[in-house]
Amino acid sequence: MTPNNLRISRLTNLMVDRDWDLLLLYGHTWRKDFFRYLVNVNLSGPHMMAVLTRSGEIRILVSDPWDLEVLPESLKSTATCARDFMEGLKDLTRDAKRGAVAIAGMELMQARYVHSICATTGKSPVSATVVVEEFRRIKDPDEIETLMRAAALSDRGYQYFAEIVETGMAEYELAAEVEAFLKSNGAEDNFMLIGSGGVEVTGMKPPTGRRFQPGDSVITELTPQVGGYFAQICRTLVLGEPDAKQQESFAIFSEARQAAEDRIAPGVDIADVARAQNDVFRHYGFGEYTGPRYTRVRGHNLGLHPDENPYILEDVHCELKEGMVVIAHPNTYLPLSGYMVFGDSLLVTASGCKCLNTTERKLFQK
C-alpha cells in the first residue's frame, strides 16, 4: 500500500487554502473511514491517527502495538505507538507553528483527546469532517473499481444466503454462515442486518434465535468491505409461495426503488430522490409509513463506511454529483406484509445511475 498522491495533493491544497498547519484524520475500532482515506490499512485500534503536513509528509500514531506489524514497510518508519494515546497526540502536534490544527473525524474523538491538542498548541482544533466528507463522496476510478469488487462479493453473498436459508434454521445460524462465506471470500468486514416473520416484523436487527417458519419473509442487508470500501445489497425472500399481500407489498417496493433510480442524476437534490420513493407509498395510501416511526433512511452514500453521509431523506439537501456511489432503498414497514427491503449499490453517472449489483431484482422465494 502506498499513499494516494492525488488525494494527498487535494488535502494539502485544502490545508493551504484554510491556513491549517496540520490535518489529522482520526479513526477508532468501528469508524476507521477518515483514517483510511489517507492510510488505507485495516488496523485494529482502539485508536489511530494519520497526520498530514503541508509539505505532504505523513505520520501515523497507533495505540495498539500489533498495528505497527500490519503497516507496510513503506509506512513503518513514519509510525509510532503510544499506549497513552493522549500523550502521543501531544507529541504529534507540538510542531504546529501557530496552533492551526484541523481534524477530520473530530466528532468521533473523546473530548480529552481534543483538549490535549488544544493544550499543546494553545488553540482549539477545528473540524475538517464536513469538507473531507465532501472529498470522499466523489470516487476516483480506483475507488470505483474497488466498490465494484465489493458489490460483486455482496451478490455472491446474497446468492449463498438464498441457497442455504431454510425452514427451521435460526436467524443467528444463517447470519453466521453468510458471515463466514463473505470473510472466506475476501471481505475484511461485513455489516449485516436480518429480520424474519410476517406482519409483526417491524425492522431489521441483529440476528436472534428465532427459527424460520413456512411463509416467513426473510430480509437482509449485506454490506461487505473489500479494500476498505463497502457495497450493499438489500433483498427480501419468502419461504414458500408468496401470498397475495406479500406480492402486493413487494410490487410497491419495486416501484419505489425504480422511482428513486429514475430520479438519480448529477445536479439532483438528494431530497428529491427520497421524495420520489415516498410519493409511491403515498400514492397507494401508505404515506404514514414514510416517516421516522417506520423507517430510518431512504438510502445513503457508500464508501469507506457502510452508512455515509448524505442520507437520502426529504429534509436532507445535497446535490448528487457524478462519481458518487449511493444506495437508494425503500426499506420500511407496511401493514400488508411487515418490513421489506430492496436496493442496490448505484454509481452516479453523467446520464443517471449505473447499478453495480447483478443479483436479480425480484421477490425471492425458497
pLDDT number for residue 5: 86
Query: Could you read off the pLDDT of 8-63 as tens digits, one per residue?
Result: 999 999 999 999 999 999 999 999 999 999 999 999 989 999 999 999 999 999 99
Q: For domain 141-365, give the fold.
A: Creatine Amidinohydrolase (3.90.230)
Backbone angles phi, psi at 200, to 5 degrees: -80, -10
Q: How many C-beta atoms surround the C-beta of residue 5 within 10 A?
A: 9
Distance (Å, whole) CA 346 – CA 303: 11
Query: From the centroid of its chain, how far is CA 288?
Result: 27
Confidence of residue 303 (pLDDT cuts 50, 70, 90): very high
Whether the predicted pLDDT of 114 surpasses 90 = yes
Query: From the centroid of its chain, how far is CA 127?
Result: 21
Whether the predicted pLDDT of 98 surpasses 80 = no
Reading the block at residue 108, the C-alpha cell is 468521533
Region 5-136: CATH code: 3.40.350.10
Numbered ranges of CATH 3.90.230.10 in the chain: 141-365
Confidence of residue 3 (pLDDT cuts 50, 70, 90): low
pLDDT number for residue 72: 87
pLDDT number for residue 95: 75
Whether the predicted pLDDT of 1 surpasses 80 = no
**Average confidence score pLDDT of the chain:** 95
What strands, in cross-sheet order, belong to the sheet with 308-311?
Answer: 308-311, 299-301, 325-328, 345-349, 352-355
pLDDT number for residue 211: 97
* Contacts for 105 with CB less than 8 Å, ≥ 6 apart: 25, 26, 27, 31, 33, 34, 35, 129
User: Which has the closest alpha carbon to 40: 8, 83, 77, 85?
Assistant: 8
Whole-angstrom CA distances from 279 to 17, 173, 252, 362 are 42, 37, 11, 21
Backbone angles phi, psi at 265, to 5 degrees: -170, 155
Confidence of residue 77 (pLDDT cuts 50, 70, 90): confident
pLDDT number for residue 37: 96
pLDDT number for residue 205: 81
Distance (Å, whole) CA 57 – CA 51: 8
Q: What is the mean pLDDT of residues 260-268?
A: 98
Whole-angstrom CA distances from 283 to 180, 289, 340, 363 are 41, 12, 18, 21
Numbered ranges of CATH 3.40.350.10 in the chain: 5-136
Query: Could you read off the pLDDT of 149-179 as tens digits, one per residue?
Result: 999 999 999 999 999 999 999 999 999 999 9
Confidence of residue 97 (pLDDT cuts 50, 70, 90): low
Whether the predicted pLDDT of 345 surpasses 60 = yes
CB 209 within 8 A of CB 337: no
Q: What is the mean pLDDT of residues 306-316?
A: 96
Whether the predicted pLDDT of 323 surpasses 80 = yes
Q: 179 or 91, which is more confident?
A: 179
- Residue ranges with strand state E in the chain: 22-28, 47-53, 58-62, 79-81, 101-104, 126-127, 189-197, 217-226, 229-230, 233-238, 299-301, 308-311, 325-328, 332-334, 338-340, 345-349, 352-355, 364-365
CB 33 within 8 A of CB 143: no
User: Which has the closest alpha carbon to 149: 185, 191, 184?
Assistant: 185
pLDDT number for residue 170: 98
pLDDT number for residue 352: 97
Query: Could you read off the pLDDT of 204-231 as tens digits, one per residue?
Result: 788 999 999 999 999 999 999 999 999 9
pLDDT number for residue 2: 61
User: 0.75 exceeded by the pTM?
Assistant: yes
Confidence of residue 86 (pLDDT cuts 50, 70, 90): very high
Q: Please report which helix (H) or strand (E) contains residue 149, including its range.
A: helix 141-164
The owner of cell 485508536 is 47
